[in-house]
Structure 1
């Protein structure tokens, strides 16, 4: 009987080429997840072995890419950053026989600086490629309770339904929330609900301002919308103190 238990989290390392990353120039990253100095295998979660979410410190720029597994068990990906400044990289992964985890890494990008006003006003509607996406219950988000996210989508004065969505990463959309203050990260995958084309449930532990990105696929194209939401402090209730895995 195998009684071995993993007591330590695997170690995540990321290296870049070139070491000094410049805006508008491709940067190449090698990511390793190791235990006892050996690369360990990862499970496929939402159709990918690793999700890499990238944002600038101001949370005005976002990208979601998927590093590719190499023969040696490392993961390789490239990115081109639009401006100099500080960027946060969130790696979402699940080693076999380990719980799912998020690793956060910070990088500095040199070169030209593109000023973009920080998003601090509530934004509950986002328009992309002719689609108007509204976070219907965006004024009701609270901590200390299971929280639903309800989205409507309209194009050409027609409200879309769940059946109009194409699968993207094993669900009908993909949602990321990041806190403005301390960069708390929530990775949320919607579930089926015939009332809304995009519907999800999560648990938000901290009140405050969050930036949110919602990606969905229609007619073979991925559309990325952004929102800014204020999460208020909810009443503490019995049995609602854990995040019950709703982030994934």
Structure 2
């Protein structure tokens, strides 16, 4: 459930715009993460099937000329953000691979259970002028025992922290979501910056895994934004469905992940 530094692993299991913001959605636009190729760029996985457990995961981003991309505009302190999620949205990992000079990205990825996964890459190749999210399927071999997507819930606890979610999603309309962090019943007012923000929110829709990556209102050090207990986001989703919301936050030098489920009806 916890990790530190750039190799953050926010694994959730057995549960009872600007600055790379992917919350904007225009009518008729394809939601992020559903395409392996977009705007002339393609996600190329070295392996589409892995064994369970810690493994070296490698991939490239190819340009329209077929060559690996080696020049990126950073998004929240990183050239690339890698998100991995189980298809049932019962597992979630936010990690940051390293790129070699030839354009191959690699990271130690620990997927402990067999099943179907989806990988997402948030990137802004130099000169593109905006962020795109490419997605591809990944399988982990072995006996697959699917579990249902967790039921709607607005409260999550991890390591003595309690995170509450306030706000609702409305299809095609921006809405405010606020996560409030407390520990042992006391508000947490000294959250630490993580990748240039007090929180990172990834929203995934069950079924097709439409992807939204939202950064919070304000920024550390802007003289206005408080370091907790509230982390506020402005999010827009493409349509009805069951959504899983994964919040990364950092406190006491450790990154933790909270997960929520919201049901958006027609």
Query: Normalised by the shorter chain, which TM-score bucket?
Result: 0.7 to 0.9
In structure 2, distance between residues paired with 1:212 and 1:20: 26
Structure 2 stretches lacking a partner, 5+ long: 1-37, 219-224
Residue-pair matches, total = 220
Contact 1:141–1:232 (CA under 8 A) maintained in structure 2: no
> Kindly tell me: are residues 72 and 143 of structure 1, through their superposed partners in 2, closer, same or farther at Cα, counting changes over 3 Å?
same
1:205 aligns with 2:231: no
Q: CA deviation at 1:71?
A: 1.3
Please tell me whether the aligned partners of residues 43 and 136 of structure 2 are also in contact (alpha carbons under 8 angstroms). no
1:158 to 186, 192, 195: 186
**TM-score normalized by structure 2?**
0.77
CA RMSD for the aligned pairs?
2.0
Q: Residues 207 and 20 from structure 1, CA distance in 2 versus in 1: closer, same or farther, beyond 3 angstroms?
A: closer
Are the structure 2 counterparts of residues 25 and 156 from structure 1 closer, same or farther at C-alpha, using a change threshold of 3 Å?
closer
Question: Aligned match of 1:89 in 119, 138, 143?
Answer: 119
Asked if 1:103 is matched to 2:131, the reply is no
Equivalent residue, structure 1, for 2:67:
38
Give, in whole Å, the separation in 2 of the partners of 1:214 and 1:57: 18
* Aligned mates of 1:22, 1:116 — CA distance in 2: 17
Q: Which has the larger radius of gyration?
A: 1
Q: Higher relative contact order at CA 8 Å, sep ≥6: structure 1 or structure 2?
A: 2
Aligned ranges 1:174-185 → 2 under 5 Å: 174-185=200-211
TM-score, reference length from structure 1: 0.82
* 1:186 alignment partner in structure 2: 212
Contact 2:86–2:92, Cα closer than 8 Å, also in 1? yes
Matched residues in 1 for 2:135 and 2:188: separation?
Answer: 35
The SS at the match of 2:53 is coil
Contact 1:55-1:63 at 8 Å conserved across structures? yes
Match of 1:229? 262
